[in-house]
Amino acid sequence: MTRISAFIAPFFLSGHVVSGEYSPIRLFLMRIFARYIEVPLLHLSYLACVGRLKFLSKFFLTRWLIVYPIAYPFGHWGDTGRPVPLNELVEMVEGLEGRLAVGPCRCRIGHKACDHPMEADIVIKTGTDVWLEAFPDKYRVIDREEAVRIIRDCSEQGLFHMVFLHCLLGGAVNEYVICNCCTDGCVPYILNRSLGQPVYPLVRGEWRVEVDPALCLGCGECVKACPFSARRLREGVSEVLDCFGCGLCAGRCPVGASIIAERTL
Ligand code: SF4
Ligand code: SF4
């Protein structure tokens, strides 16, 4: 019996029984997450990384005893984001099936630390029903045109975009929300930058930026724009380091020398 359980357990934990897009277990977990966990967890994470409880992530002992044991499993198997460039995101939204809804940014509710647009949390796919059901007075159904308008407005304000994934067990990719993120308020971004990619990973998506050195002016706009410190100037030409594919630099380059390309590595 023990042997059978040991054999079956990994299947249940990593297979589609838990992580499938329409798995009742996953949808149940997502409802619990939406109602009771998401905002308090974002609030606490913000405090522990950059707020009043910052010591928790700074001191060796508290980092290893408290912060890492929560952040590591959550980031690897629970919930994390994948940056997506603007045009590719617009294309994705236009092709999405099912209803979309928009509501207040969960991070900005959690910490109230930035003044970027609040109505920027666009739930998609299975996320739409779950968040509409949990917060019927806060979320409203929108069409694709309105979703694109919100995304473009946020982009004009310098925000970048992430699609969030839930229950990443057994290679599952359950996209459920599009977030419009800033460096001072997006808690998953702050977790990634504060704790590091190995502890709280963001997913590098299908895109990365490449530079056309023949066009590059060496103006440094891309270095200033990159929220991931993935650009630098070398001998007057911009270089790309560990690109997450958010696309912000491409939008700022005055001569089109930063080009969004499919990630090959
Ligand atoms: S280099 Fe930086 S700003 Fe440009 S796409 Fe990559 S992560 Fe985004
Ligand atoms: S913004 Fe464009 S032109 Fe300026 S350094 Fe970066 S790649 Fe070169």
In the chain, domain spans: 10-195, 207-262
Fold of 207-262: Alpha-Beta Plaits (3.30.70)
Q: How confident is the model at residue 1 (pLDDT cuts 50, 70, 90)?
A: very low
Percent of the chain with pLDDT over 90: 84
Per-position DSSP letters for the chain, written without gaps between them: -HHHHHHHHHHHHHSHHHHSTT-HHHHHHHHHIIIIIHHHHHHHHHHHHTSTTTHHHHSHHHIIIIIHHHHHHIIIIIEEEEE--HHHHHHHHHH--S-EEEEE-HHHHHH----S-SEEEEE-THHHHHHHHH-TTT-EEE-HHHHHHHHHHHHHTT-EEEEEEE---TT---EEEEEEE-TTT-HHHHHHHHH-TTTSPPPP-SEEEEE-TTT-----HHHHH-TT--EEEETTEEEE-S-----HHHHH-TTS-EEEEE---
In this structure, of 84-88, 110-114, 196-200, the range with the lowest mean pLDDT score is 110-114
| pLDDT for res 3 | 55
Per residue in 13-27, pLDDT tens?
555 678 888 899 999
Distance 249 CA to ligand 1 centre (A): 6
Q: What is the pLDDT of residue 18?
A: 84
Mean pLDDT over 146-159 rounds to 95
Residues with CB under 6 A from ligand 2: 211, 216-222, 238, 252-253, 255, 257-258
* pLDDT reported for residue 142: 97
Instruction: Give the number of the atom of ligand 1 that is nearest the alpha carbon of residue 247.
Output: 5
- Cα 93 to averaged position of ligand 1 atoms, centre (Å): 21
217-262 pLDDT tens trace: 999 999 999 999 999 999 999 999 999 999 999 999 999 999 999 9
Give the distance (Å) from ligand 1 centre to CA of residue 230.
Answer: 6
What residue owns the CA closest to ligand 1's atom 3?
Answer: 226
